[in-house]
Structure 1
Amino acid sequence: MVGEDFENRCASLLEELGLARRDEIISVVPLTGGVASDIAKIETENGDYCVKFALEKLRVKEEWHAPVHRNAAEYAWLEVASEMALGYFPKLFGRSTVENGFVMEFVSGDDVFVWKDALMDRGPVEGEAGTVARLLAGVHQRSARAGFDRRAFDNAADFSALRLEPYLRFVGGIHTGVADTLNEMADDLFAAQTVLVHGDVSPKNILFRDGAPVLLDAECATMGCASFDVAFCLNHLLLKGVHTPEHARPYLSEVSDFVSTYLKAVDWEDVAALSRRIAHLLPMLMLARVDGKSPVEYLDEAQRARVRAFSLHIIAHPEDTLDGLFSRLTKAITS
């Protein structure tokens, strides 16, 4: 059941942006799946919209707070990506600084699916990873060029609250033996200003429409280090391989396709140095999705223990190349 306060907030947002009057709203249907925002589909006499409001306190077990103005950075990231993938990304209808919310097209259709749902239902058999890597590399490449307007993405403090504290520093407080390594990585990521980072490149946030990826939920968007986005997405693919052992090798193949596609586009920094940072960060994020503030929901206790064990070992004895890391992960995941 939709709360009256939420309905009023949605109506106020649409009225402020000149999209619909209150008496033109037919229904407000909350959308589930996220922990950081209130999202809804709004049906009006003028058409359907998707509205999104950032939450100050995230819906997780641990205490996790983040500033609601991050909604502005997400909208700005969508504007950048929309210019690159015209026709695939949702139309944007405006943002309110009063409501800390924005309105975009409600993406639907017979050819639309959520990548996570597809991966969980049928495994990684369609080769979508390479297309996601190509889009992500395009955003990174464009944002590294001289003349890119960075003003909307001076969000290191927000990125720290949403990613570095809950995924690295919090985990260091649990696993004190690797705390210095995790905190050093967090410090380096906080200081980075190289490319426009999405911050949540997860299959749950990626729709496919007519075979093209639509990347949503850029609440963590900031100028930062490209390694974070790459490692974040690879992490989800690898953990799904742990979850479904029968698909482990196909997931590893998707990881390889993602990396090779992405690295071919890297021209803004030394490829070997970037690969090394990805190799160091990836096992830290794997550990974070077991013992951080936002653990994945699909691993059972035995699988969580397995990920914890090999992640801690690799963090303590890191690999400097992706080939070396993937060799060790292949043995850990498929044995």
Structure 2
Amino acid sequence: MVDINNRAELIQYLTGKGIIGEGEHYTLNYCTGGVSCIAALIEKDGITMLVKQGRPKLAVKEDWFADPARMKIEAKANEIFNRYVPESVPAVIFYDAENYILLRKAAPADCVMWKTDLLNGILDFEVAKKTIDALVTVHNKCFNDPEIARIFADDSIFYQLRISPYIEFLLGKYPELTEYGKQLIERLKTRKLSLVHADYTPKNILVLKNRDICILDYEISHYGDPVFDLAFFTNHIVLKSAHLKKWSAAFLNMLLYMTDTYFEMMNYGEKKEAEADSVKILAIMMLARIDGKSPVEYITSEQTKTLVRDMAFQLLKSGIKTFREARELFYYMENE
């Protein structure tokens, strides 16, 4: 199997595929910080492409394994997101199933990770709206679609990369959550409503100079419960509100703006039920990004970790069912 982490091997592979030619001018630079994949950017003739290959063992402290064949899921989901929100999703060029290699178009080099903007206190509500518009559009379009359900029927990667490291691992640390955790796992395994991205985060959204967005990383996509995406995504806004208390109100206002926008546009299922479920899942995701296998790297203060844990447990105990109530709880706890 081709190992794209070997530069010479990757160049030979791309040459064989006709992506770069003998003697042709191009640049090839590896991307850093990838946990689940090895990735590199190729630029030639003013066009930027990204090549990526799934890691069988993820680059985290804990042992965490996943089938590299998940790149097939990435390619298929990328194509579907591109079908419904082409302005925000780069097109796939090819997928090599034998070597688990995906090649797609890439965003311009002068874009910035939305996560970077947020951590620098740049809270652009228009960007936030575009991220929600894209997400809910895909959820709406793929709802109750038997063909997409068939393509994404295998949710084993979702188990390997989300349920096991985020929820099951967490229950080992918090046995008092066992009953709720098991109910949540069963729900996520059995509710088959729409296409779920399952890694929709500010890290996987690039912001272009014109403030358009580019959505990345579809390898955990499956046909399941779309409220997981909303909880998983908004968790990152909540975590940043606790981490950057001077902008707490702004982050929590963005949280409410995003969730209000989502439910206004949502045209599948029952909105009140979906919101209540999202809030509960959010609490578990908050704990998971502190004490799960993949804790957020920017929260290093024990005081902040304790705050997030307290916020999550209070959210679960309170019976809160709306993001508006959750926002008030978070603001009070972050500023008391």
TM-score by structure 2 length? 0.92
Task: Identify if the C-alpha distance between structure 1 residues 18 and 170 changes in structure 2 by more than 3 Å, giving closer, same or farther.
Answer: same
Seen in structure 2, the aligned counterparts of structure 1 residues 19 and 98 have a Cα distance that, compared at 3 Å, is same
C-alpha separation in 1, matches of 2:291 and 2:38: 25
1:298 CA displacement: 0.9
**What is the rounded CA distance, in whole Å, between the counterparts of 2:315 and 2:335 in structure 1?**
16
> Partner of 2:94 in structure 1?
94
Letter in 1 for 2:65: H
User: Residue 163 of structure 2 aligns with which residue?
Assistant: 164
CA gap of 1:271–1:22, structure 2 versus 1, over 3 A, is: farther
Q: How far apart are the structure 2 equivalents of 1:293 and 1:257? A: 30
| Amino acid corresponding to residue 271 of structure 1 in structure 2 | K
2:266 match: 266
- Aligned-partner Cα distance in 1 for 2:5–2:52: 15
Cα distance between partner residues in 1 of 2:71 and 2:106: 17
Give runs of aligned pairs for residues 57-72 of structure 1, distance below 5 A.
57-72=57-72
Distance (Å, rounded) in 1 between the aligned partners of 2:46 and 2:264: 44
Residues 158/113 of structure 1: CA separation in 2 closer, same or farther (3 Å cut): same
Q: Does 1:117 align with 2:143?
A: no
Q: Does the Cα contact within 8 Å between 1:178 and 1:316 map onto a contact in 2?
A: no
Matched with 1:199 is 198
Per the TM alignment, residue 319 of structure 1 is displaced from its structure 2 partner at its CA by 2.1
Cα distance 1:287–1:94, how it changes in 2: closer, same or farther (>3 A)?
A: same
Length, aligned pairs only: 332
Counterparts of 1:25 and 1:68, CA distance in 2: 31
Alignment of 1:322 with 2:323, yes or no, is yes
CA contact (8 A) 2:107 2:214 kept: no
Runs of 4+ in 1 over 6 A off after TM superposition: none
The residue that corresponds to 1:280 in the other structure is: 280
**Contact 1:249-1:334 within 8 A present in 2 as well:** no
Query: Which region of structure 1 is more displaced relative to structure 2, 11-20 or 156-165?
Result: 11-20
Question: Is 1:334 the counterpart of 2:332 in the alignment?
Answer: no
The whole-number CA distance in structure 1 between the counterparts of 2:118 and 2:289 is: 18
- Shift in Å at residue 66 of structure 1? 0.8
* Alignment partners' CA distance in 1, 2:231 and 2:319: 15
1:175 matched to which residue of 2?
Answer: 174
**Does 2:234 match 1:234?**
yes
CA distance in 2, matches of 1:22, 1:285: 48
Contact kept, 8 Å, 1:130 with 1:254, in 2: the verdict is no
Quote the residue 1:73 is aligned against. Answer: 73
Aligned-pair CA distance for 1:103:
0.7
If the length of structure 1 is used for normalisation, what is the TM-score?
0.92
The answer to whether the 8 A contact 1:10-1:51 is kept is no
Equivalent residue for 2:128? 129
Q: Would the alpha carbon gap of residues 23 and 63 (structure 1) be closer, same or farther in structure 2, given more than 3 Å must change?
A: farther
CA RMSD of aligned residues (A): 2.2
Alpha-carbon separation, structure 2, partners of 1:28 and 1:242: 38
Deviates more, 1:261-270 or 1:18-27: 18-27
Shift of 1:87: 4.3
> Residue 78 of structure 2 contacts residue 91 of structure 2 at CA under 8 Å; is this kept in 1?
no
Determine the C-alpha separation between the residues in 2 that align with 1:141 and 1:265: 9
Q: Distance in 1 between matches of 2:221 and 2:287?
A: 22
CA contact (8 A) 1:241 1:248 kept: yes
